[in-house]
Structure 1
Amino acid sequence: MHSRRTAVVKPQSGLQSDINVTPLVDVVLVLLIIFMVVTPLMRAELQLQLPMKGEIDSPPSEALHPGLVRLTAEGTLLLGGEPVSEADYVPRLRAFLEARPRGQRELFFQPDARAPYARLIRALDGAKEAGAEAVGVSVDPP
């Protein structure tokens, strides 16, 4: 007689203790490729040509910059070299700016380093209220 063998498959009991690293390797390789492609694109450069110390002339005067507003350390505003009260500031700026053609109504502020910050912000807000199209602030000492 011929004996038959039967194969018995036992269900696997317990946890598998091996870590499947194939998905981890796939993810790492994809990230490596992404970083290799993106890294050269992140090197954006901005070309600047700063003046040398010897090239700087005298500080800007009111004659060269008629729209120059200075703020002293005490918080006093100087428009055209003359002190301006806070109540008279916006009307005088409005008259000055309306005398200039559209597109050239800009103001340049030169605050002292010790000037009150809140006073500078009020002066900038007043300039916008008076109709200034552009406002610049110098951070260099006069």
Structure 2
Amino acid sequence: MSTKRKFVKAATPPNSDINVTPLVDVVLVLLIIFMVVTPLLEKDIEVRIPETEDVPMEQMPQDNNQLIVKLDSDGTYSINTEPVQKDEYVNKLKRMLAAKPNKEDRIVFFVADDKANYGLLVAAFDGAKQAGAFVLGMATEDIPAAPAGVPGAPVDPGAAPAPTPAP
């Protein structure tokens, strides 16, 4: 017997078009994910940056009574290059600020080492406010040291100028 093969014909011809429905579903899901995540990424901290102006070095007044608190990487405080114990910091700063009669003159600048503990720096800020500081300023560059043993000695005129406080 001879067997003859029979082929079944498809009822519809083959479809070569792309099915767009799954593509639209995926795109809509991604759109919803991005709409939900985008507001979470926009968390900014507002910082007031003081306006600066160039003042020639000859015109800058030299204030020998500036209070500069320095925090070293090992956690030691210094007021005008004089090391201070942590428990004496607020009392000593309070005495130095009390010597200034005008409230507006009670300005304290802070210089922190790059490796200093952030918590100790915040504690120094809080201590200065407790001591009666009116304005707190943060120096971004290291302030040149005065000669040893002379707190508040004049700074070398060729050195960088002292920072100006932010309002």
TM-score, normalised with respect to structure 2:
0.47
Report the equivalent of 2:72. 72
1:72 shift after superposition = 0.7
* Alignment partners' CA distance in 1, 2:54 and 2:131: 33
Q: 2:69 is matched by which residue type in structure 1? A: V
- CA offsets 1:94-126 (integer angstroms, 9 cap, x no match): 000000122201100111111110000000000
Q: Which has the larger radius of gyration?
A: 1
Contact 2:66 2:107 in 1 (8 A): no
How many residues are paired up? 88
* Alignment partners' CA distance in 2, 1:135 and 1:49: 20
1:48 shift after superposition = 5.3
RMSD, aligned α-carbons: 2.5
Kindly indicate which of the two structures has a greater share of residues assigned to helix: 1
* Alignment partners' CA distance in 1, 2:52 and 2:107: 24
* Alignment partners' CA distance in 1, 2:52 and 2:66: 27
Percent of aligned pairs with the same amino acid = 33
Contact 2:77 2:83 in 1 (8 A): yes
* Alignment partners' CA distance in 1, 2:133 and 2:70: 16
- CA offsets 1:43-72 (integer angstroms, 9 cap, x no match): xxxx75568xxx89xxxxxx8453111111
Contact 1:113 1:141 in 2 (8 A): no
User: Structure 2 regions of 5+ residues with no counterpart?
Assistant: 1-50, 58-62, 144-167
Report the equivalent of 2:129. 128
Report the equivalent of 2:97. 97
